Structure 1
Amino acid sequence: MREIVFDTETTGFDPKGGHRLVEIGCIEMVNRVATGAVFHAYFTPERDMPAEAEAVHGLSAAFLADKPKFAERAEDLLAFLGDAPLVAHNAAFDFGFLNAELTAIGLGIVSLDRMIDTIAIARRKHPGAKLSLDALCSRYGIDRSHRTKHGALLDAELLAQLYVELMGGRQIGLELAADASSSGNGPSGDLSDRPIETSTARPFRSPRPHRPSDAELARHHEFMAGFGDPLWTRA
């Protein structure tokens, strides 16, 4: 199954207040293993960069001034996303900005049905715990020592690792078994097109007796007789 883990950086908290998307980083995963395919882009916001936002991600108005407008990379971004489910941390925030930018240039929005929110998953697994990306990376032992500021691609890479852990780590047995069976390498699946293997090399083993012997039954009755007025004998 193909999924896209992504993160965004913005000029603020609310696109309805005029804030813009300035960076997006996307990681492709297939069966929850990163394929190495990524999409990463900076966008000029066509407005100022508030100091509070710059303090979080380090992207200045001067740095972004010569970057393309969102409209110039939108088709490339949508082509990379395809129809895959989209995984984000506090996904409503990222979807809100992405869809605001798409709406502004007359393109259709990304359906919220595709949204997978890792905060919601973490909240179910760890009720009452801290749910920030930093806190959850610490919980699962994911190295974030190189993260001095927020960055969309870096945070997407960390989130991809976290998502795997939240979904059961590398022991995703059923999916791997399904893949193996579909390729003919696994023990399960449709066996109709496989030759029936026969072998006479294995020695015959008679069925093991499972009924207790008379001596075992006698010892059991003797043991049970040692209980004084047991509950199971009362009417």
Structure 2
Amino acid sequence: MLDRVFSTIVTVIGEVILLPTDSNPQLLSPPSLTVQMTVRLDAVMSYSSNECRVILSDITQRKQAQEMLSKSSARFLKLFQEHGNIMLLIDPDTGNIIDANHAAAAFYGRSIEELKLMSIRDINASPPEIVTSDLTKYRVEKQNRFMRKHRKADGTIRDMDVASNLIEIQGKELFFAISLLGGTIGVESEEGKGSRFFFTLQHERILG
């Protein structure tokens, strides 16, 4: 009884990759497949005996899914950053700006890093309660088109036509907002570009 009381349990958890082999077919099916596993090693040391228990869990599919998500996110961010329209990624819960593209930085007169430290409330000239209501309508009522006034770094107020979609990036839901200048020559063509951008994301299965 005392040896059980004073037993020491040491647990080690890690990940391993099982390379193709013909000597261990029960782990690899087919034998040429590379399998990624998590390993949990429990070493139980007591006065009477030392035991070691190993638990293997196949995480190959999970790793493959994570890799696909990472590649999709990378493709999205490249398209996002290089697109000519003003684009923001916004946290729907807080209104914080998670990311902005180069077009947004040029329009608002702020660096991307500056914008990422701001909230949508800092650039939306509407009263705070209106902005909060907009965020709720985006998520709950699926209303995704608004005409709003936005404030640039120099204090200039511009009319903006804002379209948004709720997307998921690395497990986090974000508002993906495309802003078009209201009343500007060429808005129709710019809107067409935004629509084609969404179509491209769907076609590439980046938006899911």
Bin the TM-score by the shorter chain. Answer: under 0.3
More helix by share: 1
Structure number with bigger Rg: 1
More strand by share: 2
**TM-score using structure 1 length:** 0.24
**TM-score using structure 2 length:** 0.26
The higher-RCO structure (CA 8 Å, 6+ apart) is: 1
